[in-house]
Structure 1
Amino acid sequence: MSDASHELSVTRFIAATPAKVWEVMAERQEEWWCPRPWRAEVDEQDRRPGGACRMTMYGPGGEVAPQDGIYLAYDEGRRFVTTDAVVGDFEPAGPFMIGIWEIAPEADGTRYTAKARHWSEETRRSHEEMGFVDGWNACAAQLAEICEAEAG
């Protein structure tokens, strides 16, 4: 059981099938992964436990924010879990969080939930102060926008 004082999460109902949401969520991350006007580029994805998960986010002012880590789980059509605590060939890194992105059927659409689990309450608080709620909700809205436009 996760310690709630260490977790942040956002959830959103998306009026599209789980298959559509999964396809966009897993295969088209560059379209929704970070809040506009930022953009993301997938550098490497080896979608299996222990496989590399590397992206780079680019900001409108020339900012460059690499996100390197590994998959802890990859359950096709349901969820993927990553961490930045391990990089490369199982090298320890300064851990920030475990990210969990999951979907589930709900009514005539899909429930999307994204969670960030941290090693400490202090780190969770820092992530929240960085704008977690607004940022991850913006990403969820971008994901929903794509899925719902294509579901019609």
Structure 2
Amino acid sequence: MSGAEHELSVTCLIEAPREICWKVWTDLKDEWFCPKPWRAEVIEEDMRPGGRSAVQMFGPNGEETGPMEGIFLEVVPGARVVTTDAYAAGWIPQSPFMTAIWDFAAEGDGTRFTATARHWDAEAMARHEEMGFHPGWDEMMAQFKALCETSAASA
């Protein structure tokens, strides 16, 4: 499903099966989740609806973000993950910025991976664009693709 009014998205075809892409997404997030030289650290990922999602990013000069705190809304193993920062764990409301949707679809011998950010309004979407959605998510996507393809080649 697409076409949300305030949506930003990136997609690529990965030359690796969905199972490998899913494993990289779930197990190796520290290695691809933010553009280098920044690094991501997973604090918690309780991958069930209502479960906590918390990731912190660290810059090369000591910068820190977050943690980016939210919850999982939907988890379909091997196919889709949906998270939102509108709530913290325990359904505690917080100021919403976006809902993230991560889709994995078989395409030929590979996987079509699509990462989507849906925002509550045009202002939040514009702010995300200004923060560097592109090229940030483009670089994240390239890192994810490379890691999946390297993992597939060594499997």
TM range (shorter): over 0.9
TM-score by length of structure 2 reads 0.94
| Structure 2 counterpart of 1:124 | 125
| Structure 2 counterpart of 1:149 | 150
2:37 is the alignment partner of 1:44? no
The CA distance in 1 between the partners of 2:5 and 2:83, in whole Å, is 20
2:136 is the alignment partner of 1:139? no
Q: Please report how far the alpha carbon of residue 2 of structure 1 lies from its aligned counterpart in structure 2 after TM superposition.
A: 5.9
| Structure 1 counterpart of 2:55 | 55
The CA distance in 1 between the partners of 2:76 and 2:127, in whole Å, is 29
The CA distance in 1 between the partners of 2:111 and 2:150, in whole Å, is 14
**Over aligned residue pairs, what C-alpha RMSD do you find?**
1.2
- Secondary structure of the corresponding residue to residue 5 of structure 1: coil
TM-score by length of structure 1 reads 0.95
Superposed counterparts of 1:12-51, under 5 Å: 12-51=12-51
- What amino acid maps onto 2:58 in structure 1? Y
The CA distance in 1 between the partners of 2:140 and 2:91, in whole Å, is 29
Q: Which runs of 5+ in 1 are unaligned?
A: none
- What amino acid maps onto 2:62 in structure 1? G
Q: Please report how far the alpha carbon of residue 5 of structure 1 lies from its aligned counterpart in structure 2 after TM superposition.
A: 3.2
Equivalent pair of 2:40/2:55 in contact (CA under 8 Å) = yes
**What is the count of residue pairs matched by the alignment?**
152
| Structure 1 counterpart of 2:9 | 9
Q: Please report how far the alpha carbon of residue 4 of structure 1 lies from its aligned counterpart in structure 2 after TM superposition.
A: 3.6
The CA distance in 1 between the partners of 2:11 and 2:2, in whole Å, is 17
Q: Please report how far the alpha carbon of residue 119 of structure 1 lies from its aligned counterpart in structure 2 after TM superposition.
A: 0.3
Q: Where do 4+ consecutive residues of structure 1 move more than 4 Å? A: none
Superposed counterparts of 1:84-123, under 5 Å: 84-123=85-124
| Structure 2 counterpart of 1:82 | 83
The CA distance in 2 between the partners of 1:110 and 1:75, in whole Å, is 15
Q: Which runs of 5+ in 2 are unaligned?
A: none
